[in-house]
Amino acid sequence: MENKPFFLRDPWVYKPEAERSPRPDARLGFETRALHAGFHPLRDVEQFRAFAPPLIQSMTYPYPSFDQFPDYIYGRSKTPTTSVLEERLASLEGGQACVTAGSGSQALFNLVFTIARPGDNVVTTLNTFGEGYKQAASIFPERCNVEFRFVKNFTDPKAWDRLIDKRTRLVWVETPSNPVLLVTDIAAIAEVAHAHGVPLMVDNTTATAALQQPMSLGADIVLLSLTKFLSGNATVLGGAVIGPEALVEDIRWNTTEFVGAILQPFEAWLMLHYLETLSLRMERHSANAQKVAEFLENHPKVRKVNYPGLKSHPQHELSQKQMKSGGGLLSFVVPGGMSGAAAVMNHLQLIVHAVTFGTSRSIVMHPRTITHEHMTQAERDVAGIDDGLIRMSVGLEDANDLIADLDQALHIL
């Protein structure tokens, strides 16, 4: 006898073979998909005959007749403009389907909430974004009895293998990681996870699909913050999960349909326009970051630079294999700990101090006090969050101006 409430679906079960079918648009280049996936001006929204995807800012959709359901019913489950964005993001990542969320952090919450049950666990590292760590270290264990296991020696596949057991529902890799830019071997960890029948999720926020294609390396699920490089100018807060259709629909059912954890149509509409230039922007972010990283590495007042594009980066070779270029994010350590970092950041004139990254204008941020403040000192030591660490999101300005600004600020030390 069925005694569960009617609205609880059977949870998604990972079936690797069934969920690796190539997308029909995979033959098109990345730049073409960034412009065309999910929307054709004539074919799809014929009544508008609009060149740009229309913004449909409606939260309810009339029934054609009493017993005829419209494609869209109510804004808590999905809306037309957001569906175009979901199709485009799925296409760019090479996944079957996508469900958006109000932020990247919410997307992570929706994913874990959907696939883990009390007593289950998730295997990851301490090299994740700050809110992700907070969900992993306290919200899920304390409120849902879902344990997060942190791999210390993340470059060793056996270290991942040892932490996975029968209750592991997900392996979660963030690469390059925020804020220390560590690079994890996606293909190697996919192999380990799959040997246990566990899906691999890769957070592709820092590299974006323009520079790194986790699914082509074996990832089953991609997590994204749209807030960062994907939007590119700090005007949207959003997130997404890309993965097998059955999982995506499970997330949509659990956390959007019933809870309303959605991306609003206007944000989706902005995103569709921002994604058109993603590839070009990432090229420029990377070229500028490479120049800034090389400058910082040779500066006598800088103790350490974390940037995958530098030959000195411990996973430089792997990053060259796995990514098109080093990306737009770097971090560096100045002497003097917290007060050294504060002095440099206070003396920057062009580069602003703010809590995000991936914007066209360059930004710095102090992880020790702002995003990773809740870690214990021992955890920060493992994660490489030094008191003097400054994260820099390298923008699209003239690189020489960024270098000049950093140079004059570093002279304060």
Ligand X SMILES: Cc1ncc(COP(=O)(O)O)c(C=O)c1O
Beta carbon of residue 286, minimum distance to ligand X (angstroms, whole number)? 17
Among 86, 87, 93, 203, binds ligand X (CB under 6 A): 203
Beta carbon of residue 80, minimum distance to ligand X (angstroms, whole number)? 23
Amino acid at 51: F
Beta carbon of residue 51, minimum distance to ligand X (angstroms, whole number)? 29
217/403 with CB nearer ligand X: 217
- Looking at 38-46, 200-208, 312-320, 405-413, which segment touches ligand X (CB under 6 A)? 200-208
- Residues of this chain, 82-121, that bind ligand X according to CB under 6 A: 103-105
Closest-approach residue to ligand X (CB): 104
Amino acid at 216: S
Amino acid at 144: C
DSSP calls for 70-110: -S--BTTT--HHHHHHHHHHHHHHT-SEEEEESSHHHHHHH
- Looking at 181-189, 202-210, 362-370, 388-396, which segment touches ligand X (CB under 6 A)? 202-210
The values of phi and psi at residue 51, to 5°, are: -75, -45
Among 83, 80, 87, residue whose Cα is nearest residue 25: 87
Binding mask 287-326 for ligand X (x = CB under 6 A): ----------------------------------------
Residue 108: HSE in the Cβ half-sphere, 13 Å Cα cutoff = 27
Among 186, 209, 211, 237, binds ligand X (CB under 6 A): 237
DSSP state of 60: B
For residue 411, the Cα-to-chain-centroid distance in whole angstroms is 35
Alpha helices in 37-180 (DSSP H): 80-93, 104-115, 130-134, 157-163
Among 86, 120, 174, 386, binds ligand X (CB under 6 A): 174
Beta carbon of residue 228, minimum distance to ligand X (angstroms, whole number)? 6
Q: CB count, 10 Å around CB of 266? A: 13
Among 184, 227, 279, 322, binds ligand X (CB under 6 A): 227
232 binds ligand X (CB under 6 A): no
For residue 73, the Cα-to-chain-centroid distance in whole angstroms is 29
- Residues at the interface with ligand X (CB under 6 A): 103-105, 129, 131, 174, 178, 203, 205-206, 225, 227, 237, 239
